[in-house]
Structure 1
Amino acid sequence: MSAVDEKAILGRFMLELGRLYQAYRMYPSGNPHVQTAADRCAECLREFQKPIRISRMGEEVVIENEVLSPVPKQLEKILEAFKAMQWDSVRFLPEIGVRGFLEVMLRLKEGEPGSFSTVGFVAGSINLDEEDEEEEKGLNAPTGYLTLMPRVQEMMSDIREGRKGAWVRAREITRLISGHVMAGQDIFSPIMELKDYDEYTFTHAMNVAALSIAVARRMDLPEGLVDAVAIGAICHDVGKEKIPLEVLHKPGRLSDEEREVINRHPVDGAAIIMNMKGEMSPIVPVIAFEHHMRVDGSGYPKLPVQSTPHPAAMLVAVSDTFDAIRTVRPYQPSAYTPAGAMSVLIKESRANRLHPVFVSVFARLTGVIVPGRHVKLSDGSRAVVLADGEYDALQPLIEIADGGEIMDLSMPRTPDIESVEDMLDE
């Protein structure tokens, strides 16, 4: 592509970006004016075939390596919005697509300052390139787990666009995560940290995959099944691509109609996966379809005849539940602590909604129920854990707080752990 052609595309992109921002401020995101403007922006990126970067350096605005002087009038409003968001530099990648542009517009509308990334878009400090280099270096570091997120973004884009390489990329990512797990590297510290919802789509997919891989390996499942669980876990929510952003990010209570839209994502996800080209385990779409179905027949989607979910889906459901309630989101302003989240898993297990075997293995891996931890028992008493359970993490040796009785919860006719209490530093 010649320099003249590049300059023409950049000029058209700036014009369409300004029009998109203006349209989004005037109309709902589903309005044809907004959709058309977003599609034209995405078309410019596809033609340009490489990222477009807009930076602010003092009073100067630079697009790629060219200072905009004067700044085109159609860009003034969106540049003011970038400045208000404290975005010194923004980078649009060719894979952003219409949905990515709409997510950027939604973020601008919400107006909460700070760095932000989604599929095909990164915004934040002026040193994005240097940060990217550090991320690449971090892939081989013990704490490099979170630096896999850009690859997850690319994978989601591949799946959304139906590209042939999606499953190859999914296998690469899950094998890298699995490598962290097998090497004994600490993936649980970043997972245990509270996350905001800006990067939830990608961090949640990674976390559910990492947790599910760890459980599968702890149970010594066959390698082929571990791979299927890993790919199914990282793709379990791909059906949410079909949910309108206003519904997906709605801060208040969902209407019945909106809840129906949300509840369709397992069906849509399984359909997306089954329509993808390339070889994959048949378990992968099953995980996407069944990860919200429960052992007792509750959950969704509802089937004409009740059936027990596939074990792989029940395994992923435990990881999914734990990570989901550990995250701050618009409709979930406060997140559970690790102990609080484990208490939810225990409650769901005792109610026969989550499978108790997977919850027990999960509890062992996350190290929440350890000596010194205070717990509440099903008979109403409180106790402190003295030693790990030999066969079941949910059946440790405990000391009753009132009276000092020592009790092995693996013995018959003993109470169950009902909930786990927070420690002072949680």
Structure 2
Amino acid sequence: MAAAAKQTVLVVDDTPENLDVIAGILKENYKIRVATNGAKALKLADSASQPDIILLDIMMPEMDGYEVCQALKKNPRTARIPVIFVTAKGEVSDEAKGFELGAVDYITKPVSPPLVLARVKTQLALYDQERYLDALVAERTKALEGTRLQIIRRLGRAAEFKDNETGMHVVRMSHYSRIIAESMGMPEDYCDLILQSAPMHDIGKIGIPDNVMLKPGRLTDEEWVIMRTHPSIGAMIIGDHDSELLKMAKVIALNHHEKWDGSGYPNGVAGTDIPIEARIVAIADVFDALTTARPYKDAWPVEKAVDVIKQDAGSHFDPELVDVFVRELPKVLEIKEKYAETTESIDQQEQRIVITENLP
């Protein structure tokens, strides 16, 4: 079995003799890197081969150890690297300042070799344990998020079981929504939320009677009144919750049929009074509906669907978001191809029609 790679210690001191002393103590057990000033230390700490721990002198010219430590902790890439101050400054106030800046330990000069070895070993063990626990949490969080997303998509598919769409519709339109949000410069957590909440946009269709939802012909005015209640029903199904995901899902469910000019439903909200996530989903939803084949219609060519969305900018859709959508069309088409309808998904649509037509 190959021996484990040595961990790396970065020693920072402006005096070469001090570097030699520390390196001599540690070199048998660790890989040593050295820096004679703060600027070089920051560069090495933020390099591709980051150190596992930093031993940092305080009294240095131009940039002292306190300033170096502060800069390390401000940089997300280096903030978690443990820092041990090694210095002749031994006053309690000096130690307190070091700990306030994020140092994990404090060694005074002249150094004791056994003490240096013990402190470095202890802090590296703690850092290793921290990284291991972080990895476990990240793995578990990823699994939970994956499960949550699958449940959400299945809720979306539950609504589509009463419609002529497949589960791939909610996958595609949710990714289209994320592409638009990312292009707008939205924070990553917002983009994740819209990806995960968009599949529930039509959950309210569960509450629409089958004689309206599955009617093969045109709906009457009275039936349209019923159909237009599905956003409100969806909002009631999702309900009120502290979860940011469910809050956004409710907003999208309630508002994704509102139109920029105020002619939408259920509340006739207009312009920027329509929540931004609902305006995003409206474009994604309509584009996918137009460009996907259904048992009752052929898929529209992409060019025709995009032209319609452009024509409806300022009436149905937020014109600025339409510009974003058109700009990101290459990414949208990649998603469309990646999650294209399969023979199985089309068969599922036809099976649903047969099942519902034969219900008593």
TM-score interval w.r.t. the shorter chain?
0.3 to 0.5
Q: State the structure with more CA Rg.
A: 2
More helix, by proportion: 2
TM-score (norm 1): 0.38
TM-score by length of 2: 0.45
**Structure number with higher relative contact order (C-alpha < 8 Å, ≥ 6 residues apart):** 2
